[in-house]
Amino acid sequence: MKENVILACNKAKEIDLVSFLSTLGYEPTKIKANQFWYFSPFRIERTPSFKINRIMNRWYDFGEGIGGSIIDFGIRYYHCSISEFINSYLGGRQVPYPDMGKIVQPFPKEPVLLVNSVRSLSTISLIKYLASRMISFEIARVYLKEVNYTNSGREFYGVGFQNNNGGWEIRSKHFKGSAAPKFLTHLSYGSDAIQVFEGFMDFLSFLQLNPATEKSRSYDFLILNSTTMISQAIPVLHTYHSVDLYLDNDPAGDRATGLIKLELPKAKDNRIRFAGYSDLNEYLCTQGIRTWTPP
C-alpha cells in the first residue's frame, strides 16, 4: 500500500503544473524566462504573487509563504487528502507531461548556499546561541554539526541539521536558511510510535523537555524541515501505529496538522501542550527547563 501511494505521488509530480492550472482556468499574467506568474488561486488579490518554476515544475505562493509540487497544490486547493486528489481530482484529467526538450531557456540562477565543510560542534558563539534557545550542548552535539558555508560569495558558519537527502538546515543568531536538497529528516530507532515536528529546534526542545526519551530512544522522530514536505511525510507516517504532532501554532501549522489528520485520523495534535506560544521552542524559552511526561 505504501509503495502504491509513493508511486502514484511520484507519477503525479511529473504532470506539467502550467498546463494543470490552465485546465482549472488559470493563465499566467506574466512569463519571464521559465517563471510563470499568476494571481493566486487561493485568494483574491490585485498583484500576482503566485509563481511556477517550469524547469523545476514547482510552485510558490509569496502571499502565504508556501509552495511545493502538484500534490501540495492539490490538497491545498481542494482541501482534500493526497489519495482523494490523485483519485478524484487528478484521475482521468487529460493534463500533458512537460516536454523538457522544448524548455531550453535556463531558469535564472538565484544565490546558492554551498556547504564547504562540516565538523563537530565546538565554536563558543554557536554553543551560546543554542543556549539562548535553551538547547543544551549535551543534546545539541548528538544531532547538530558545525557547518561552514558560502552564501552569495561570502563565508559563514552556523549550526547544521541534516536531512535524509544530504541537505542541511542551517541556523545562527543572524541567519536562517537551507542548503539543498530540501527534504525531511526521519530518525528511526525501531519504534511503532513517532513524534512529528516542523523544525529541528522544536525537535531538540522536545528532547530537552523529555530527557528520558532522548536516552531511551523509545520513539522515532520526523522533522519536516518545512510544511511543504507534507506529501513526502504522509507515506512515512502511514507505517506507524501512533503519530504525535507538535507543529507550530500558526496558520501554516494549522494547515499542516489538518492535512496530516485528514490522511491519518489517528494522528494526535499535541499543540495544546504549548498553547499560547508560537512553537515548542518559544514555550521552552519562556518557561525554562522543565520536564514533560510523553503522551
Beta bridge partners of 151: 113, 154
- Using pLDDT thresholds of 50, 70 and 90, give the confidence band for residue 289: low
204 has a pLDDT exceeding 90: yes
| Least confident segment among 65-74, 181-190, 242-251 | 65-74
Q: Where are the domains of the chain?
A: 2-90, 113-179, 185-287
- Between 50-54, 112-116, 245-249, the lowest mean confidence (pLDDT) is in 112-116
Give the separation between CA 67 and CA 235, rounded to whole angstroms. Answer: 19
pLDDT of residue 97: 45
How large a percentage of the chain has pLDDT more than 90? 48
User: At residue 155, what are phi and psi to the nearest 5 degrees?
Assistant: -90, 140
Q: Which of 13-22, 84-93, 176-185, 215-224 has the lowest mean pLDDT?
A: 84-93
**Cβ 242 vs Cβ 248: under 8 Å:** no
C-alpha cell at 49: 504573487
The CATH fold of domain 185-287 = Dna Topoisomerase Vi A Subunit; Chain: A, domain 2 (3.40.1360)
Residues 6+ apart with CB under 8 A from 46: none
| Selection from 37, 39, 65 nearest residue 53 by Cα | 37
End-to-end CA distance of the chain: 28
DSSP string, 105-126: SPPPPPP-EEEEEEE-S--HHH
* 185-287 and 2-90 share a CATH fold: no
How many other CB atoms sit within 10 Å of the CB of residue 174? 8
pLDDT tens sequence across 181-197: 889 999 999 999 999 99
* pLDDT band (50, 70, 90) for residue 269: very high
Residue carrying C-alpha cell 550542548? 137
Q: Residue 90: which residues within 8 A CB-CB, separation 6 or more?
A: 12, 15, 70, 74
Q: What is the mean pLDDT of residues 197-214?
A: 92
Residue 219: the pLDDT is 93
Q: Is the pTM value of this prediction over 0.75?
A: no
The answer to whether the Cα torsion of 204, 206, 211, 212 is positive or negative is negative
Q: And the C-alpha cell for 246?
A: 507538535
Homologous superfamily (CATH) of 2-90 is Zinc finger, CHC2-typedomain (3.90.580.10)
pLDDT digit string, tens, across residues 216-225? 788 999 999 9
ω before 96 within 30° of 0 (cis)?
A: no
| Residue type (1 letter), 214 | E
Give the residue with greater pLDDT, 80 vs 290: 80
What span, in angstroms and rounded, lies between the C-alpha atoms of 143 and 10? 30
What per-residue confidence (pLDDT) applies to 267? 96
Q: Which residues pair with 169 in a beta bridge?
A: 161, 178
* pLDDT score of 294 more than 60: no
Beta strands in the chain (DSSP E): 30-32, 35-38, 50-53, 58-61, 66-68, 113-119, 145-151, 154-162, 168-172, 175-179, 185-187, 193-197, 220-223, 242-246, 268-269
Distances (CA, A) of 229 to 80, 107, 224: 16, 23, 6
In angstroms, rounded to a whole number, what is the distance separating the alpha carbons of residues 141 and 19?
47
